[in-house]
Amino acid sequence: MEIFANIINYVIAMGPSVMLPIVLAILSVAVGVSVGKSIRSGLMVGVGFVGLGLIVGMMNEQLGPAATAMSQNFGLTLSVVDVGWPGASPITWATKIATVAIPIAIAVNLIMLFFKLTRVINIDIWNIWHMTFTGAIAYTATGSFAIGVVGVIVHAVIAYKLGDLWAPLMKDYFELDGLTVPHGTSAYMAPVACFTDWVMEKIPGINKIDFTADTLHEKVGVLAEPIVIGGVLGAVVGFLAGYDAKLALQLGVKMSAVMVLMPKVVKCIMDGLLPLSERAKEVLTKKYGGNSEFYIGLDPAILLGDAQVVTTGLIFIPLTILIAIIVPGNVILPFGDLATIGFFIAIAVAVHKGNLFRSLISGVVIMYFTIWVANKTIGWVTQMGIATNSISPDTQIAALDQGGCPITYVYTEMFMSGKDMFALILVAAVYVFCWFFAVKLSRQRAAALKAREVAAQ
């Protein structure tokens, strides 16, 4: 068992930029892609994730201090810091549940594929940490390894079903044919956006508001191009942080770089995935028939290549701090996840077809819900950090990414002897309610796609 755990930890320590190319190359050879093309595809994906790492790292390095300075300028006294996914993921991988989580998540995927319960083929091994987090938190809170293992299974099942739900939106809005995003904050918070979209569609006047970066470009020209939007928003964040003109403008230029470089980096990943995607589709179509379609499950980072997603994400850096102020009883200072807040609202942007107005409205609801839930999990996240020797015993931490996940909270709270029954019922009811709207919207988008394809023939 210890040897197996060491192997798992060794592979995990490589990071996604190495893990994914290896997994991709092996899978590509397994389905019949030539060895040379498989190696090239794997390396291309690796290059893409190295690029993503550099860009996201720069965002964390530049926007993190700005976020802290903004909080100080607003006079916030929030006492528990959000460590974000950069802090939560290594803590998760250091738990005992992590030693079995990867094979369990893969086994769940294969079983669901065999019984035709999903069409998602998840190759994003790194982000199994999301499923692991649910299991690790449940194990930490209850002391039961079995409950923790079932937590991994429950989250995995829901994640793969989410991948099925969002596949039509990936193709319809992001133009990612044969790909989907089954995990992360993007996937599990998007049902909330589906409900808010339905509500806004029913409100006269509100349902007519529709603007995107593209429509703004038609009205104001070059000022609405992504490079300009990134520069302006970056500079605004800098000034809100109290920076002088020099530092604020430097931050603006770096956010312009994000807007320009991110789509190019994502294209490397798409190019690398194409041979596997096409070959897997051929093999699976031959095995299961022409009516079956399968989707490669990937990291939500691929969605950051969309200008609307990055634009909305930048707006939500100061907006999330304001939301944190108004959430009743909140003690969390948003920090670790602020630079990559685009992950939280990425699929929501697709739900709203790039409509920035609706994306901002549903984004407020998503971040409010996330912060509220994350407050409920502070004790568990802190306990897990202490148990893995990641933090000192006199420290409290929170995590908006995964700590604010309704799946994790509801599953774990079920075993806590009704300590917070009202919150458990509320969160579960809201999430299940929103899920129905997600299913409805997914079917509508799938039907619209099929109709367009038939019309084009």
| Structural domain harbouring 326 | 63-456
* C-alpha span between 328 and 309 (Å, rounded): 28
- Which residue numbers in the chain have pLDDT < 70? 1-9, 11-12, 15-16, 56, 60, 64, 75-77, 213-224, 281, 284-285, 288-292
Inside any domain, residue 32: no
Q: How many CB atoms lie within 10 A of CB 328?
A: 6
Inside any domain, residue 3: no
Inside any domain, residue 9: no
pLDDT, tens digit, for every residue of 222-239?
655 778 877 887 888 888
pLDDT of residue 435: 96
Inside any domain, residue 37: no
* C-alpha span between 347 and 165 (Å, rounded): 11
Q: What pTM value is reported for the model?
A: 0.84
* Intra-chain end-to-end CA distance of the chain, in Å: 56
Closest CA to 170 of 74, 48, 273, 279: 273
Closest CA to 192 of 359, 308, 320: 359
Inside any domain, residue 97: yes
pLDDT, tens digit, for every residue of 355-394?
999 999 999 999 999 999 999 999 999 999 999 888 888 8
Inside any domain, residue 339: yes
Q: Are 261 and 54 in contact (CB under 8 A)?
A: no
Inside any domain, residue 310: yes
At how many degrees (to 10) do helices 145-172 and 129-142 cross?
150
Q: How many domains does the chain have?
A: 1
Separation of CA 5 from chain center: 26
Inside any domain, residue 5: no
